[in-house]
C-alpha cells in the first residue's frame, strides 16, 4: 500500500491510487478475504502473505535457483555490489541484489525499478531489443520536449546501444547518480536470447571504463554463463 505508515484508511488509499473510494473499498475487502490485507474496521494494512506474490514470480524463473549463489560468488570475487534485473516496459526491475560492504548512494532492493536507459543492466537489455520493440520503447521513454529533442535523444542512445551490442557489455558512469558507476552483461537462455542482465556497481571515480573492463568483465561473463549453463533446457523464462 505504498510508503509511509503501515496502516492506511480507505480515503488515503483511494487518493494514493486515484481510485474512487467505493472501488478501493471493494478491492481492500477482497484482499482481506484472501488474507493479503487486514483491517481493524477503520484502517487497512498488508499482511506477510503479500510476499508470496513476488516470490511466486521469482520461483518460476529458470535463472532463479542459480542466480543468487552465482552473484554471491561474484560479489566475493570482485568485492562490489552485484545485481540482476529484467526489463519491464521502460524500466528495469531488480530481481536480485547482493550488496557489498561499501556504501552506495542509491538504495536498491528486490522490486526496485529504474529507467532502463539510465543503468547498465537496462542498456544491455535495450541493446538486444528487436526493431519493433525498440520503436515502442523510444515512443514511451523519449523526452516530451518536442520531436527534435526526442529524435536526437533516440539517435544518441541507439549509437550507444549499438556499441554495447558489439562489445557485449554496458558501462555507465554517473548517469543515474553522479556517485555511482556500473558495468553489466546479459544473461542468456539456452537459445542465446537475453532474458535478464547482471552487473557490478561501484563508486564513481574508483576506476574508468578500461579498468572496469579489466577487473570485472571476465568475472561477470563467467557468472552469466554459470547461470545460463544450469538453467533447465527448454525453459526460456517469462
**Mean per-residue pLDDT for 191-204?**
92
| Residue 19 backbone phi and psi in degrees, to 5 | -110, 150
List % helix, strand, coil for the chain (3-state, nearest 5).
45, 20, 30
Top-confidence residue, 63 or 194: 194
Q: Tell me how far apart the alpha carbons of residues 70 and 183 are, in angstroms, rounded to a whole number.
A: 16
Over residues 40-54, mean pLDDT: 82
- Please give the pLDDT value at position 70: 94
Identify the weakest region by mean pLDDT among 31-35, 135-139, 141-145. Answer: 141-145
For residue 144, name the pLDDT band (cuts at 50, 70, 90).
confident
Region 186-207 average pLDDT: 92
CA nearest neighbour of 121 among 203, 59, 61, 176 = 176
Q: Please determine, for residue 236, whether its predicted confidence score (pLDDT) is greater than 50.
A: no
Q: At what angle do helices 120-127 and 147-167 cross, to 10 degrees?
A: 90
Residue 202 β-bridge partners: 181
Report yes or no: 94 and 108 within 8 Å, Cβ to Cβ: yes
The reported pLDDT for the residue numbered 17 is 86
Most distant pair of Cα atoms in the chain: their distance: 60
Task: Report the alpha-carbon distance of residue 135 to residue 212 in Å, rounded.
Answer: 31
Q: What angle do CA 75, 157, 82 make, to 5 degrees?
A: 5
Residue 226 in this model has a pLDDT that exceeds 60: yes
Whole-model pTM over 0.85: no
**Structural domains of the chain, with CATH:** 10-51 (no CATH), 60-229 (3.30.450.40)
Given a cut of 70, whether residue 55 has pLDDT beyond it is no
Query: For residues 190 and 181, what is the distance between their CA atoms, to the nearest angstrom?
Result: 30
- The answer to whether residues 180 and 104 touch, using CB atoms and an 8 Å cutoff, is yes
For the chain, first and last CA: distance in Å? 26
pLDDT per position as a tens digit, 74-126: 999 999 999 999 999 999 999 999 988 765 556 778 888 999 999 999 999 99
Amino acid at each position: 500500500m505504498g510508503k509511509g505508515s503501515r496502516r492506511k484508511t480507505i480515503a488515503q488509499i483511494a487518493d494514493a491510487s486515484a481510485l474512487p473510494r467505493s472501488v478501493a473499498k471493494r478491492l481492500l475487502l477482497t484482499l482481506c478475504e484472501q488474507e493479503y490485507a487486514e483491517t481493524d474496521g477503520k484502517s487497512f494494512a498488508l499482511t506477510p502473505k503479500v510476499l508470496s506474490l513476488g516470490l511466486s514470480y521469482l520461483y518460476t524463473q529458470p535463472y532463479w535457483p542459480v542466480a543468487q549463489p552465482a552473484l554471491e560468488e561474484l560479489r566475493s570475487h570482485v568485492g562490489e555490489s552485484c545485481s540482476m534485473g529484467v526489463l519491464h516496459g521502460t524500466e528495469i526491475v531488480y530481481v536480485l541484489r547482493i550488496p557489498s560492504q561499501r556504501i552506495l548512494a542509491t538504495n536498491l532492493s528486490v522490486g526496485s525499478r529504474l529507467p532502463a536507459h539510465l543503468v547498465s543492466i537496462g542498456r544491455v537489455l535495450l541493446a538486444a531489443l528487436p526493431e519493433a520493440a525498440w520503436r515502442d520503447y523510444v515512443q514511451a521513454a523519449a523526452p516530451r520536449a518536442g520531436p527534435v529533442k526526442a529524435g536526437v535523444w533516440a539517435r544518441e542512445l541507439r549509437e550507444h546501444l549499438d556499441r554495447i551490442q558489439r562489445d557485449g557489455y554496458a558501462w555507465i558512469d554517473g548517469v543515474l547518480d553522479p556517485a555511482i558507476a556500473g558495468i553489466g552483461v546479459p544473461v542468456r537462455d539456452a537459445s542465446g536470447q537475453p532474458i535478464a542482465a547482471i552487473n557490478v556497481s561501484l563508486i564513481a571515480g574508483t576506476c574508468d571504463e578500461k579498468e572496469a573492463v579489466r577487473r570485472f568483465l571476465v568475472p561477470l561473463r563467467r557468472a552469466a554463463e554459470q547461470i545460463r549453463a544450469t538453467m533447465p533446457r527448454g525453459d526460456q523464462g517469462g
